[in-house]
């Protein structure tokens, strides 16, 4: 089950992460995963195996920025925050996705 869910997400983790961060708060990885699950009403589960590589890749691409800060459980955590470049990327990916999703839905309905 979990595996298929993650497979569906492949390639779209970036989009979801950017969308979550676009709300403006800086969040750590666990919170981002929680939020995705929560907002998708437990349909989408982002595995750590794809979440963290995606976060680090985007950090290096300049879409998000990270910094270490104290968390609520008194441990150091890495917090991520979206950048201007990240917002542009989000807009681009979002419209692409919506276009594709609409098209796929149309095809599914007609067939």
Binding residues for other proteins, per CB under 8 A? 2, 28-30, 33, 47-50, 52-53, 56-57, 59-60, 62, 71, 73, 75-78
Nearer to other proteins, 41 or 109 (CB): 41
Two structure tokens written together for 40: 């998708």
Nearer to other proteins, 49 or 109 (CB): 49
Nearer to other proteins, 28 or 102 (CB): 28
Can you tell me the distance from the alpha carbon of 5 to that of 33, in angstroms, rounded to the nearest whole number? 14
Which phi and psi angles does 74 have, rounded to 5°?
70, 15
Q: How far is the CB of 10 from other proteins (least distance, A)?
A: 13
């Amino acid at each position: 089950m979990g595996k298929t869910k993650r497979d569906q997400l492949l390639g779209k983790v970036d989009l979801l992460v950017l969308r979550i961060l676009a709300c403006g708060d800086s969040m750590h990885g666990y919170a981002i995963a929680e939020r995705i699950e929560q907002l998708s009403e437990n349909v989408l589960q982002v595995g750590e195996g794809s979440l963290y590589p995606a976060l680090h890749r985007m950090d290096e691409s300049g879409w998000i920025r990270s910094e270490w800060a104290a968390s609520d459980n008194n441990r150091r955590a890495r917090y991520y925050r979206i950048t201007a470049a990240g917002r542009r990327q989000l807009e681009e990916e979002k419209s692409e996705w919506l276009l594709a999703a609409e098209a796929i839905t149309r095809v599914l309905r007609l067939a």
